[in-house]
C-alpha cells in the first residue's frame, strides 16, 4: 500500500493499492491537452513496446480502474516514459517531483511551497482524502 504522495505541478497524483501512479492525474498536471491524453500515448508504438518489456511478476505495468476514483494506473517507468512523450520540460518536472518523493517522503512542487506554508490544512486534507480512497480499494 503506498504511503507517500507525489505532487506534480500542484496536482496530487493518486496511487492504487499496488503503488502504480494515475496517468489521468499526470495528464492534468501536464496541462490537460487532448493530444496528450493517456489513451493516445498508450496506443503509441513506444508505449506498447515498453509495456511489453515490463514484466513485473504479480503486478501488471498498467491497470485500468473504472469509476469515480478510477483511471489508468501505471508503474514508475511508464510515468517517466509518458512524461517524456509530453515534453522535455514536463519530463524534468516529473523526475524532480519523484526525486523529492523518494528522498523526502512527500513531493511538494516548488510552485506550491508558499501555498502549503500559508494553508497546510488544505493540503493535509487532500492527503487524508487520498488515504481514505486507497483504504477502500
Amino acid 1: pLDDT:
41
Q: Three cell numbers at 110?
A: 516548488
- 22: helix, coil or strand? strand
pTM, two decimal places: 0.72
**What's the confidence (pLDDT) of residue 98?**
83
Tell me whether strands 5-8 and 11-13 are parallel, antiparallel or unpaired: antiparallel
**Sheet bearing 21-22, strands edge to edge:** 21-22, 71-74, 62-65
Per-residue pLDDT of the chain (137 residues; tens, 9 = 90+): 445 678 888 888 998 888 899 999 999 999 999 999 999 999 999 999 999 888 667 778 898 888 777 889 999 999 999 999 999 999 998 998 888 777 766 555 555 666 667 777 766 776 676 566 656 65
Give me the residue spans of the domains in the chain. Answer: 5-136
Name every residue whose Cβ is closer than 8 Å to that of residue 63 and which is 6 or more positions away in sequence.
16, 18, 20, 72, 73, 74
Name the residue with cell 513485473.
56
Whether 8 contacts 93, CB under 8 Å: yes
Amino acid at each position: 500500500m503506498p504511503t507517500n504522495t507525489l505532487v506534480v505541478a500542484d496536482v496530487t497524483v493518486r496511487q492504487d493499492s499496488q503503488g502504480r501512479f494515475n496517468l489521468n492525474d499526470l495528464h492534468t498536471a501536464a496541462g490537460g491537452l487532448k493530444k496528450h491524453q493517456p489513451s493516445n500515448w498508450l496506443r503509441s508504438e513506444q508505449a506498447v513496446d515498453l509495456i511489453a518489456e515490463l514484466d513485473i511478476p504479480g503486478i501488471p505495468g498498467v491497470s485500468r480502474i473504472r469509476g469515480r476514483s478510477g483511471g489508468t494506473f501505471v508503474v514508475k517507468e511508464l510515468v517517466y516514459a509518458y512524461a517524456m512523450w509530453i515534453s522535455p520540460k514536463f519530463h524534468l518536472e516529473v523526475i524532480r517531483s519523484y526525486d523529492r518523493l523518494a528522498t523526502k517522503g512527500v513531493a511538494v512542487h516548488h510552485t506550491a511551497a508558499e501555498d502549503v506554508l500559508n494553508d497546510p490544512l488544505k493540503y493535509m486534507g487532500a492527503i487524508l482524502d487520498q488515504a481514505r480512497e486507497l483504504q477502500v480499494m
